[in-house]
Amino acid sequence: MEPFIGQIQAFGFNFAPRGWSQCNGQLLPISQYTAVFSLLGTTFGGDGRTTFGLPDLRGRSIVGMGNGPGLSNITWGERGGGENHTLTVAQMPSHTHNIGVNSAAGEESNPSGKHLGAITDGYAEDSNANLAAPANAGGGQSYSIRNPFLGINVCIALQGIFPSRN
């Protein structure tokens, strides 16, 4: 069966068949691929005078354009997402940290490996007060947000039947 020009297809082998090109963002000459250019334009790159770009699907997932109930609108050719993300404080849900305390009288001056203890007289002078906050957690590193994946050869048809609109 002859493909539609501009049809994108996944293949189980690692090369582009005759009449197809891998979806790797390469620029092609408009003069040589006028039918493909008439369908893609400069949506995926190129200057629109002498060159146009093919979609670059390396390391990307395909998402249907448009929007569904409760979903954001995705336009044709729109790129989004990322491979890694670094969470900011503003993105963290509200939460608390507990501090371990002991009702026994505090007798140690070195806090390492110890819990807070009760003050024997009940009050301390302000000049002797040491305010402590729980230590920061995390190191600010980014983490992967990529779904499990399998690399496949994705190609676009450069030759075939010119698609007609319904």
Higher pLDDT, 139 or 32: 32
**Res 148: pLDDT:** 87
Considering Cα of 63, then 68, then 70, then 76, what sign does the dihedral take?
positive
Domain ranges, ordered by start, for the chain = 1-61+146-166
Closest by CA to 27, choosing from 8, 11, 48, is 48
Closest by CA to 152, choosing from 22, 20, 7, is 22
Strands (E), the chain: 8-11, 20-22, 27-29, 51-53, 84-85, 101-105, 116-118, 143-144, 153-157
Round to whole Å and give the CA distance between 127 and 47.
70
Q: Strand, coil or helix: what is 51?
A: strand
Residues β-bridged to residue 53 = 27
Round to whole Å and give the CA distance between 85 and 2.
42
**Res 55: pLDDT:** 98
DSSP track, the chain: -PPBTT-EEEESSSSPPTTEEESB--EEETTT-HHHHHHHTTTTSS-SSSEEE--B-TT-----SB--TT---B-TT-----SEE---GGGSPP------EEEEEP--S--TT--EEE-SSS---GGG-----PPP------EE-PPP----EEEEESSSBPPPP-
pLDDT digits (tens, 9 = 90+) for 104-147: 777 777 777 776 776 665 555 555 555 566 666 667 788 888 88
pLDDT digits (tens, 9 = 90+) for 47-98: 999 999 999 999 999 999 999 899 999 999 999 988 888 888 888 888 887 7
Q: What is the mean pLDDT of the chain?
A: 87
Higher pLDDT, 1 or 35: 35
| pLDDT tier, 158 (very low <50, low <70, confident <90, very high otherwise) | very high
- Average pLDDT on 12-27 reads 98
